[in-house]
Structure 1
Amino acid sequence: MVRVVDAEDVELPRKPGGGWTTALLTLVSLGFCGWAALSLAALDGNRYAVALTALTQYAVPAGAVLVLIGLFLRRWLNVLIVVLVTLALSYYVVPRALPDEMPPAAGEPMKVLSFNAYLGEADAERIVAAVRRNRVDVLSIQELTPDLVARLDAAGLFAELPHRMLRPGPRGEGTGIASRHPLRELNAVSETVLAQPSALVDLPGRDVELVAVHAFWPMGENTVPTWERDLRALPGPSHDDRARVLAGDFNATLDLTRMQEFLGRGYTDAAAATGQGLLPTWPSGWFPPPVTIDHVLTSGNVRPEDYRVLDIPGSDHRAVLATLRVMP
């Protein structure tokens, strides 16, 4: 005997939670999409948007968690939207953790160390020890004060790197370059709030233009325009195979529009090229969430070969050490 069941008598399994759960998940998903849009649509025009965009690398795992929650709650539309947005973010973020395929190349090796000395309070002896231990060729040091210059001299930095172009200043204004090889002063950067000196490094067989970068901090009231002007003042990549390196504290992650412009114009980020692009450089602790705002950018016939992050006491930044190959 066949029993006919009325469709109205069939009780479909209910999704976990209720209407409030759906509303809350939808609200969180919309917030996630707005966060992603700041980077994907280049909407980082104020200090709050800059701060959120700088945390974009954390949006990828956050999206994965949202997808898992949506799957558990069987909210399929939420899952679909968040999956698509997370995949779009991953397209930009994940390659930074994957090294580029680069065939071996001949040329002059050049080790560049960049470090923000935190208002000149970093440990000078540990800075010099890092230079010696890693056989650094060029040091770009930000927030260089007259007192720190004296302590670095006493610790033996200028015996190790005798050629120097220093622009010390009060608190965070000073920046300097110290080199194992002769330097010739350049005027590659127009006047900016923080010193950004530039020099021609006379490597054996090939000169390299180097700029010690320190862009203004964009988190204060009305500071974003100043930060943008500091970054725009930096020279673009060379288009005649001249070797050019920008090394320092850009106060920007690769997700921000201004840094995307650098990469789009032809610069290569040494950390991303070597698969270390997600290593954080600031802060040295775990709050706020650490991000990568110190960079070594290369153009012309300069190829990144290795990249590391070093802890040096006394600073809220980690130092970045890039091994470059300057090809003839």
Structure 2
Amino acid sequence: MARWLGFAAGVGAAAALLVPEVARLERRPPWPVLLAARPALAGGVGVVAALASAAPRLRPAAAGAGVVAGAVLADPRRRARTTRGRTSLTVLVANVWQGRADPAALAAILRAERPDLVVLPEAGERYLARLKEDLTDLDLRAWCAPPPRPHRHVPDDPDGPWTTVLAAPRLGDVRVTPVQAGGLYGWLEVSGGALDDVRVLAAHPVAPVPGVVERWGDELDLLAAWRRAADGPTVIAGDLNSTTEHRALAALGDARVPGGPPTWPAWWPRWLGFRIDHVLAGGGIAVRSTRVLDLPGSDHRAVLATLGQATSNVAPLPMPVIHSGTGS
């Protein structure tokens, strides 16, 4: 009986640290930040459990904690799941860190990869003017969304609270309209043109830092509500300030959210950090592949995603072939 009680105590202690969803704490501070670091925490719990198991009296509790840590690390949500097939759309997300990213470096990426849509969180009209100096040969159309309201957490500058979208000429006459999220950053919806029935939301929810954690949860719910209301193929792209550990991210796309390599902070090694920049698809369109690209001058790495028609047992939605220049 003592051994089983010790095992249960180990399970309970590890679960309280690693699985706050059980008590519905995942949207209360400081849990959103701790959740982002859950794989590292689980690894730490596993190491402590292994060391503690050397003491016979602690072995049952160590075994219980180790079981929880192992289950957390084995969660299949972290396994990237992509689909095979023809590419019909390419999307690049690149947070330019309040306009600090090197415009020439970003222009070189755009020239090499030729994405159909580019989502630039924290890029406003000032950064766009600098970028255009290096993009005279690509003839990209651009739209900028200003912040919906001022906030002390976002600098009052021409780039930080903005979001910019670029569209390649092959997309045709797309419609780009602001989306009122009520948060700190501007959001844009892209539809029409060669996108056909696909709707793309360029979004940048707030980070789950003290003072705006509740707002962070509300904005993730807004993203999910937008996707439900779209009633068709959707793509949500941007700095979503969430990782695979945040279950609210699962409502934003049909496939598992890709895990590493991390996109933030860019100055950490590629095996360390957080994947908070995403391209999520659903409703008839699926992610084929993603790549993480270095972006000099930014604290984020960029994400390039290729997308195509989803395969299922139901009748497929019409999907035009827009671009197949990059491999899937």
Contact 2:13–2:65 at 8 Å: present in 1 too? no
- The answer to whether residue 187 in structure 2 is matched with residue 209 in structure 1 is no
Output the aligned Cα RMSD: 3.0
**Structure 1 residue 212 displacement after superposition:** 0.8
Q: Distance in 1 between matches of 2:264 and 2:192?
A: 28
How many correspondences in the alignment? Answer: 288
Q: Distance in 2 between matches of 1:178 and 1:34?
A: 44
Structure-2 change in CA distance of 1:114 and 1:123 (3 Å): same
Tell me the TM-score normalised to structure 1 length.
0.77
Q: Distance in 2 between matches of 1:198 and 1:239?
A: 13
Gaps of 5+ in 1: 1-22
Q: Distance in 1 between matches of 2:200 and 2:206?
A: 19
The AA in structure 2 aligned to 1:166 is C
**Structure 1 residue 56 displacement after superposition:** 1.0
**Paired residue for 1:232, among 196, 212, 221?**
221
**Paired residue for 1:172, among 147, 160, 171?**
160
Contact 1:161–1:179 at 8 Å: present in 2 too? no
Contact 2:249–2:257 at 8 Å: present in 1 too? no
Contact 2:178–2:186 at 8 Å: present in 1 too? no
**Paired residue for 1:59, among 37, 41, 65?**
41
Q: Distance in 2 between matches of 1:81 and 1:161?
A: 60
- The answer to whether residue 261 in structure 2 is matched with residue 261 in structure 1 is no
Tell me the TM-score normalised to structure 2 length.
0.77
Q: What are the equivalent positions in structure 2 for 1:129-278 lying under 5 Å apart?
A: 129-156=108-135, 159-160=137-138, 162-167=140-145, 170=157, 171-180=159-168, 181-182=171-172, 183-186=174-177, 189-200=180-191, 202-203=193-194, 206-220=196-210, 222-234=211-223, 235-238=225-228, 242-256=232-246, 260-263=247-250, 265=251, 267-268=253-254, 271-272=257-258, 277-278=259-260
Contact 2:27–2:217 at 8 Å: present in 1 too? no
Contact 2:290–2:304 at 8 Å: present in 1 too? yes
Q: Distance in 2 between matches of 1:82 and 1:227?
A: 30
Q: Which residue is equivalent to 1:123?
A: 102
Q: Which stretch shifts more, 312-321 or 30-39?
A: 30-39
Q: What are the equivalent positions in structure 2 for 1:285-304 lying under 5 Å apart?
A: 285-286=267-268, 290-304=273-287
Structure-2 change in CA distance of 1:271 and 1:217 (3 Å): closer
Contact 1:208–1:242 at 8 Å: present in 2 too? yes
Higher-Rg member (1/2): 1
Q: Distance in 2 between matches of 1:307 and 1:73?
A: 45
**Structure 1 residue 163 displacement after superposition:** 2.3
Gaps of 5+ in 2: 1-5, 148-156, 311-317, 319-328
**Structure 1 residue 96 displacement after superposition:** 2.0
**Structure 1 residue 45 displacement after superposition:** 3.1
Q: Distance in 2 between matches of 1:261 and 1:271?
A: 11
Contact 1:197–1:211 at 8 Å: present in 2 too? yes
**Paired residue for 1:321, among 296, 301, 304?**
304
**Structure 1 residue 189 displacement after superposition:** 4.6
**Structure 1 residue 112 displacement after superposition:** 0.6
1:227-277 Cα offsets, whole Å, 9 max, x none, are: 223323324435886221000011111212xxx2342x46135752xxxx1
